[in-house]
Amino acid sequence: MTVPVSVGVVGGGRMGAGIAQVFAALGAAVTIAEAADQAAALGRVETGLARAHERGKLDEDPAAILARVTTVAGPTDLPADLELVVEAVPEIPSLKVEVLALIDKTVSASTVIASNTSSISIAELGAALSDPSRFIGMHFFNPVPASTLVEIVRAPATSAAVVEHVREWVSLLGKTEVLVNDSPGFATSRLGVCLGLEAIRMLEEGVADAESIDRAMELGYKHPMGPLRSTDLVGLDVRLAIAEHLASTLGDRFTPPRLLRDKVARGELGRKSGKGFHDWEKK
Ligand SMILES: NC(=O)c1ccc[n+]([C@@H]2O[C@H](COP(=O)([O-])OP(=O)(O)OC[C@H]3O[C@@H](n4cnc5c(N)ncnc54)[C@H](O)[C@@H]3O)[C@@H](O)[C@H]2O)c1
């Protein structure tokens, strides 16, 4: 197994910065293409490295790892000779298609192109590429450095060699894979959203309060986090977007409950806004 020498990440937000951090810590030179604020993207990597250093998780000085990370303004500024590019822009199909087409035009024909999408069909996104056989889903979890899972999503066109490369890289990152065939929501988002939506409906119907619903799953079923707390961490807006996509592809059972829509409209987005199904300002 060989460590990738050069990796590109498009979108330096919460997920992209985490993905850049773990590949840089592995020894790769990482280029982040970030359209809005390159300094903020680099700052997120720096903060993540400082946190990992405090926890004794790095083998190297954080400054030396950070020195391997550079930023550019957009996908067309990426170096051509990358081994892997991971797309991590927001979960908007048209935006991802546009960004993937630009990545495809910029990088060399041998570069593996991956998307960190949580729910959008890899086959559908792969249609934006001249050669969809080099395209795959690499679904990292939040926070990327601490999370041990990567869901690898294989579309019908994805080549076996690309699947093997990605499996090796996931293993080198010290993470564990699940390999799934392309379908809406894959395995993780489909099940996670399904449980979250039912918990929201139960809250709507007055079955129990949020704390009780979460505690029921945490203590009764040994889930590390209840479905409403988990929705708060992911972001209610993110969950709503995924639920809408799954409702349009898998049917009514994923139709978002009114309470979820109302909370998003009020700006109650979960931990990031201070309030969701739980109050995060008190914690
Ligand atoms: N947040 C999570 O818990 C989570 C978990 C797993 C997967 N994901 C997926 O990861 C992806 C990114 O999510 P996130 O939470 O990091 O979002 P985010 O909003 O934090 O980051 C997205 C970044 O992309 C940048 N961007 C937008 N358009 C761009 C363009 N054209 N070129 C370059 N950069 C551009 C934005 O400025 C922003 O910094 C989504 O597909 C999401 O579904 C998110």
Q: Write the DSSP assignment of the chain as a string of letters.
A: ----SEEEEE--SHHHHHHHHHHHHHT-EEEEE-SS-HHHHHHHHHHHHHHHHHTT--SS-HHHHHTTEEEESSGGGS-S--SEEEE---S-HHHHHHHHHHHHHHS-TT-EEEE--SSS-HHHHHTTSS-GGGEEEEEE-SSTTT--EEEEEE-TTS-HHHHHHHHHHHHHTT-EEEEEE--TTTTHHHHHHHHHHHHHHHHHTTSS-HHHHHHHHHHHS--SS-HHHHHHHH-HHHHHHHHHHHHHHH-GGGPPPHHHHHHHHTT--BGGGTBSSSBSS--
Any atom of ligand 1 within 6 Å of the Cβ of 142: yes
With beta carbons less than 8 A apart as the criterion, state whether 104 and 127 touch. no
Kindly state if the Cβ of 188 falls inside 6 Å of ligand 1: no
Mean of pLDDT values over 214-218 = 98
The response to whether residue 42 sits with its C-beta less than 6 Å from ligand 1 reads: no
Residues 18, 142 contacting (CB under 8 angstroms): yes
Question: Which pLDDT belongs to residue 271?
Answer: 94
User: Pairing state of beta strands 84-87 and 6-10?
Assistant: parallel
The pLDDT-based confidence of 4 (bands split at 50, 70, 90) is confident
C-alpha to C-alpha distance for 121 and 184, rounded to whole angstroms:
6
> What percent of the chain lies above the pLDDT cut of 90?
93
| Mean predicted confidence (pLDDT) in 224-237 | 95
d(CA 144, CA 184): 22
Q: How far is CA 244 from CA 92, 197, 256, 262, in A?
A: 12, 11, 7, 14
Those residues with Cβ within 8 angstroms of residue 16's Cβ, 6 or more apart along the chain or in another chain: 9, 10, 32, 34, 41, 86, 88, 89, 116
Q: Over 90: is that where the pLDDT of 146 sits?
A: yes
Residue whose structure tokens are 């990088």:
107
* Interval between CA 10 and ligand 1 midpoint (Å): 9
Q: Which atom of ligand 1 is nearest to the CA of 98?
A: 31
Å from CA of 92 to ligand 1 middle: 9
What value does the mean pLDDT take over residues 220-225? 96
CA–chain centroid gap for 219, Å, is: 27
pLDDT per residue as tens digits for the range 18-29 = 999 999 999 999
Span from the CA of 87 to the centroid of ligand 1 (angstroms): 8
Q: What's the confidence (pLDDT) of residue 60?
A: 96
> What pLDDT was estimated at residue 283?
59
d(CA 118, CA 184): 9
pTM of the model: 0.93
Gap between the Cα atoms of 146 and 111, Å rounded: 27
Q: Ligand 1: distance of its center to the CA of 207 in Å? A: 35
Contacts 24+ apart (CB under 8 A), 79-82: 79/6, 79/8, 79/31, 80/106, 80/107, 80/108, 80/111, 81/6, 81/107, 81/108, 81/111, 82/6, 82/7, 82/8, 82/31, 82/107, 82/108, 82/111
* Predicted confidence (pLDDT) at residue 91 exceeds the cutoff of 90: no
pLDDT (mean) for 79-94: 95
pLDDT in tens, 147-181: 999 999 999 999 999 999 999 999 999 999 999 99
State the average pLDDT for the chain.
96
Q: Mean per-residue pLDDT for 78-107?
A: 96
